[in-house]
């Protein structure tokens, strides 16, 4: 479309998924006086998603409250909400459940003022078809909804199946494929050992949940490198200022970050790149992106996605008393034994295989990223018809900079958009609140034609 051409009129938008991304998209559409909106969510709750509804009170936000406003133009919004609604909670790292309350409250307020322009349907969307410039969304109850545009806001998909897990996949007592699917401590005794596959943020949540449920046995967390997310520093972090985006390859970027880290620390070095991260990713070619993921990503993740200090202290206490071990190694096989599992693994840097006897395995490897491996019915149907394709490096689905999905023919579909973590292949840094709130704001403005009113297209 030429830069001066006005976009087609959009009267009705369907948003599939009412977690953070979807709820905030609906909120922004209404706040921009945009099109009529239908928000579809299979769960009974809206505005929470897995991150803020399946959490335990001990699970804290990984970002300070001052940086967690849902509204990019009003950075103090969440802090003011806390002062009014949760005055007993300090404004540092608050419980994730509290943030879920905030999102639900914001959505309810906007919905009440929307005069019927925002409708919520508690169903699962199973298909989307396009004809004559219109979209038809099919729901699991057999009904359909017509719209001018569909926004996929599916959040994080469950972890990939563990390689070689075999028949254990059908034995939820021994193997938990999704740590948020139920009570992972159910049926355990203090004589048991639990293996958590992964050592990132999901593992931390699972370990804290086991402790909160009273599990007094042994927890072992295993990942290839055995790296644990670092903690936020107390007080303000001094971040070096970069005048412009570093122009370097991923290998050069690794050297650059190491040099910055030597001067100011890894946390500050990674945070200094925050304003340029998406541009760096977009400017890299396929091979450069692959090299970044292979060599820098493990270190990037543990410094970029950090723990609240109180959470880090609890994890360190668990490790100190022997309740939690974090080991580096690679899984090689699983065999059922009595009520448990014999796990064969190879410690990092060694050639000799070892065996570990555990009562239960919990897959904490993190959100699924490869679209080709998803079992989600809606995504499978869209893939089969070529309406969407995997994103760069197998991360989520491919979209352009306007968040329009790209099909197998390489063409963007302005009537089918995607938001949040599923667009990571295009933007990389798009999993945290500060990034998603900007993305949903921008997409809402375009769908509402607010960018024309504010001069972007004039």
- The DSSP secondary structure of 222-261, one letter per residue, reads EESS---PPBPPSS----PPPSS-----HHHHHHHHHHHH
List the one residue out of 430, 407, 406, 403 whose CA is nearest residue 418. Answer: 403
Higher pLDDT residue, 374 or 419? 419
Kindly state the average pLDDT of the residues 94-117. Answer: 91
Which secondary structure element, helix H or strand E, spans residue 277, and what is its range? helix 277-283
- Considering the domain architecture, whether residues 31 and 151 belong to the same structural domain is answered as yes
Q: What is the mean pLDDT of residues 22-48?
A: 90
Query: What is the model's pLDDT at position 225?
Result: 92
Which among 348, 363, 378 is the end of a domain?
363
Q: pLDDT value at position 280?
A: 74
d(CA 390, CA 423): 10
- Residues 128-143 have a mean pLDDT of 95
pLDDT in the model for residue 274: 66
CA dist 29 and 32 (Å) reads 5
Q: Please, what is the Cα angle at 98 between 93 and 101, to 5 degrees?
A: 150
φ and ψ at 437, to 5 degrees? -65, -35
Q: Contact at 8 Å (CB) between 310 and 92?
A: no
Would the pLDDT of 453 be above 60? no
Intra-chain end-to-end CA distance of the chain, in Å? 15
Residue partners of 287: CB distance under 8 A and separation at least 6? none
More confidently predicted of 161 and 385: 385
Instruction: Tell me whether residue 240 is in a domain.
Output: no
Asked whether residue 396 is domain-assigned, the answer is: yes
Q: Give yes or no for residue 82 having a pLDDT over 90.
A: yes
Q: Is the pLDDT of residue 445 over 90?
A: yes
| One domain, residues 45 and 131 | yes
pLDDT given at position 262 = 66
For the chain, the maximum distance between any two Cα atoms, rounded to a whole number of angstroms, is 71
CA distance 16 to 383: 16
Domain span at residue 406 reads: 12-157+368-453
The Cα 349–Cα 409 span in angstroms is 44
On whether residue 64 sits in a domain, the answer given is yes
Residues 152 and 197 in one domain: no
pLDDT at 207 over 90: yes
Of the two residues 281 and 456, the one the predictor is more confident about is 281
Confirm whether 19 is domain-assigned.
Answer: yes
Q: What is the Cα–Cα distance from 11 to 22, expressed in whole angstroms?
A: 18
Cα–Cα dist 293/375, whole Å: 24
Q: Are residues 44 and 122 in the same domain?
A: yes
For residue 148, what pLDDT band results from cuts at 50, 70 and 90? very high
- 429 or 242, which is more confident? 429
The predicted pLDDT at position 3 comes to: 39
Kindly state whether residues 354 and 403 are assigned to the same domain.
Answer: no
Q: Which whole number is the average pLDDT over 285-305?
A: 77
Averaged pLDDT, 384-400: 91
Alpha-carbon gap, residue 259 to 269, rounded angstroms: 8
Residue 4 has pLDDT above 50, yes or no: no
Same domain, 264 and 348: no
- Whether residue 314 is found in the same domain as residue 225: yes
The lowest-confidence range among 154-158, 333-337, 383-387 is 154-158
Question: Does residue 241 form part of some domain?
Answer: no
Distance, in Å, from the CA atom of 203 to the CA atom of 196, rounded to the nearest integer, reads 6
Looking at the structure, do residues 194 and 294 belong to the same domain, yes or no? no
CA trace torsion 296, 299, 300, 302 (10° rounding): 160
Q: Which of 173, 85, 50 is nearest to 420 (CA)?
A: 50
Whether 133 and 56 map to the same domain: the answer is: yes
Q: Which residue has the higher pLDDT, 286 or 339?
A: 339
**Does some domain include residue 151?**
yes
Are both 34 and 47 inside the same structural domain?
A: yes
- pLDDT, residue 139, reads 97
* Arithmetic mean of pLDDT, 124-138: 95
pLDDT greater at residue 160 or residue 377: 377
Q: How confident is the model at residue 346 (pLDDT cuts 50, 70, 90)?
A: very high
| Amino acid 409: pLDDT | 95
Tell me: pLDDT of 431 over 70.
Answer: yes
User: What is the predicted pLDDT for the residue at 2?
Assistant: 36
pLDDT at 163: 87
245 lies in some domain: no
Under the banding of pLDDT at 50, 70 and 90, the label for residue 154 is very high
> How many domains would you assign to the chain?
3
Strongest mean pLDDT among 104-118, 235-249, 288-302, 440-454: 104-118
Q: Is 302 helix (H, G, I), strand (E, B) or coil?
A: helix
Per-residue confidence at 414, pLDDT binned at 50, 70, 90? very high
The arithmetic mean of pLDDT across residues 80-105, rounded, is: 90
Give pLDDT, residue 250. 55
Based on the fold, state whether residues 96 and 203 are members of the same structural domain.
Answer: no
Average pLDDT, the chain: 86
**Domain containing residue 351: CATH number:** 3.50.50.60
| Residue 27 within any structural domain of the chain | yes
Same domain, 24 and 121: yes
Confidence at residue 392, expressed as pLDDT on a 0 to 100 scale:
83
Q: Provide the edge-to-edge strand list for the sheet that holds 125-131.
A: 125-131, 134-139, 144-147
Entry pTM = 0.85
């Amino acid at each position: 479309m030429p830069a001066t051409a006005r976009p087609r009129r959009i009267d009705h938008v369907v948003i599939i998924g009412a977690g953070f991304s979807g709820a905030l998209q609906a909120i922004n559409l209404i706040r921009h006086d945009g099109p009529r909106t239908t928000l579809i969510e299979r769960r009974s709750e809206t505005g929470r998603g897995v991150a803020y509804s399946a959490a335990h009170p001990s699970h804290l936000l990984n970002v300070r409250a001052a940086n967690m406003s849902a509204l990019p133009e009003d950075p103090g919004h969440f802090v003011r909400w806390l002062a009014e609604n949760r005055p007993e909670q300090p404004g540092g790292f608050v419980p994730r459940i509290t943030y879920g309350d905030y999102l639900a409250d914001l959505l309810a307020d906007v919905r009440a003022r929307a005069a019927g322009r925002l409708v919520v349907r508690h169903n699962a969307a199973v298909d989307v078809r396009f004809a004559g410039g219109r979209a038809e969304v099919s729901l699991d109850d057999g009904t359909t909804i017509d719209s001018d545009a569909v926004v996929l806001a599916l959040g994080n998909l469950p972890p990939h199946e563990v390689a070689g897990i075999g028949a254990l996949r059908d034995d939820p007592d021994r193997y938990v494929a999704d740590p948020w699917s139920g009570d992972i401590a159910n049926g355990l005794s203090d004589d048991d050992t639990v293996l958590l596959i992964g050592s990132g943020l999901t593992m931390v949540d699972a370990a804290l949940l086991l402790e909160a449920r009273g599990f007094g046995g042994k927890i072992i967390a295993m990942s290839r490198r055995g790296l644990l997310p670092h903690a936020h520093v107390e007080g303000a972090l001094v971040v070096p200022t970069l005048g412009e985006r570093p122009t370097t390859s991923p290998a050069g970027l690794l050297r650059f970050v190491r040099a910055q880290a030597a001067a100011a620390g890894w946390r500050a070095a990674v945070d200094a790149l925050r304003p340029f991260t998406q541009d760096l990713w977009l400017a890299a070619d396929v091979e450069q992106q692959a090299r970044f993921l292979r060599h820098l990503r493990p270190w990037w993740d543990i410094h970029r996605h950090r723990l609240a200090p109180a959470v880090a202290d609890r994890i360190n206490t668990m490790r100190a008393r022997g309740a939690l071990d974090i080991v580096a190694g690679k899984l090689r096989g699983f065999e059922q034994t009595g009520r448990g599992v014999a796990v064969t693994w190879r410690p990092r840097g060694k050639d000799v295989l070892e065996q570990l006897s555990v009562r239960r395995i919990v897959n904490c490897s993190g959100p699924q990223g490869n679209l080709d491996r998803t079992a989600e019915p809606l995504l499978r149907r869209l893939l089969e018809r070529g309406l969407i394709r995997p994103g760069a490096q197998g991360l989520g689905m491919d979209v352009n900079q306007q968040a329009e999905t790209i099909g197998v023919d390489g063409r963007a579909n302005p009537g089918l958009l995607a938001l949040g973590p599923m667009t990571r292949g295009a933007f990389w840094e798009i999993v945290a609140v500060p990034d998603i709130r900007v993305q949903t704001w921008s997409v809402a403005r375009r769908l509402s034609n607010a960018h024309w009113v504010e001069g972007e297209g004039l």
